[in-house]
Structure 1
Amino acid sequence: MMIVPAGPRSGRGRTPSPSGRPMAAGGPGQPEAIVTGANTGIGLVTARELARRGARVILAARSAPKGLQAVDAVKEAVGAEAPVQFLRLHPPPFESVRAFAEGFRALGLPLHMLVLNAGVMACPFGLSADGFELQIATNHL
């Protein structure tokens, strides 16, 4: 998993820390995060803990039913008012990534954190619609 800062730090207490201190929640100063591969495992835990600490979290996953279940799981753990939502992201192809980016842009939200957790491992050989080997296309492009 890779955590990529999406912009300059917004100030003390507004980014996640090992201490688990809350971030600024609600309103225009609320941190916005995207977590890919957020429907299970470490991606789901990351999304849940960011939401618990006050971030608005976009859960990105391939499967809409699993992504929506993950949203419900986060809300159950954090509270029904937790600002989490699902956006489908199914790379490859690149068109899916573009559609995801356009969907996020349409929300009109800033982006403070991008957690790149999605990936595949040891999948059977195949080519993406864009002509790249599937594992390389999914994990790196």
Structure 2
Amino acid sequence: MAGTGNGQDHAPADVLLDGHAHADEVDRAHPHPHHVSAHNPHAGQGPVVLDIGGDVGALVLHTPGSLVGTEVEISPAGRDQERRHVEVLPRRLSHRTVFAAVYPDLAAGTWTVWAGDGAAVLSVEVQGGQVQECRWPERPGAPAPAAETD
């Protein structure tokens, strides 16, 4: 895929056939959406199920391996308090392993990706019915390079 210069690319919905995410779960002690291996010990070991179409898209955030196990928060732009998170997992592809957080069902629009220290590190435009890919910036706050594809 060719990059757009802003760290974003569009990809077909089958881009991560060997990854995995699960439906949102909510519990009383931790009442917000989850897509993490603590709730699903098989996360990252099978196909990703994306709930896209109409005005709902998905995001694949490629990261360095050092972020495996980290829950990366995302929120609609301008609504910073409406954060949700998913865990960065190793995802086996046919000939390599990539490290990524997969947000399987985001409303179309601009989303802010947050670092663990609470700093906004990336702004991503999600299109309905499409899978957006981007890469964690090498230096938070710096423009992110485009995601690599096969």
Q: Indicate the structure with greater strand content.
A: 2
TM tier, smaller: under 0.3
The structure, 1 or 2, with the larger RCO (C-alpha pairs under 8 Å, 6+ apart) is 2
Q: Indicate the structure with greater helix content.
A: 1
**TM-score, normalised with respect to structure 1:** 0.27
**TM-score, normalised with respect to structure 2:** 0.26
Look at both structures and tell me which one has the larger radius of gyration over its CA atoms: 1
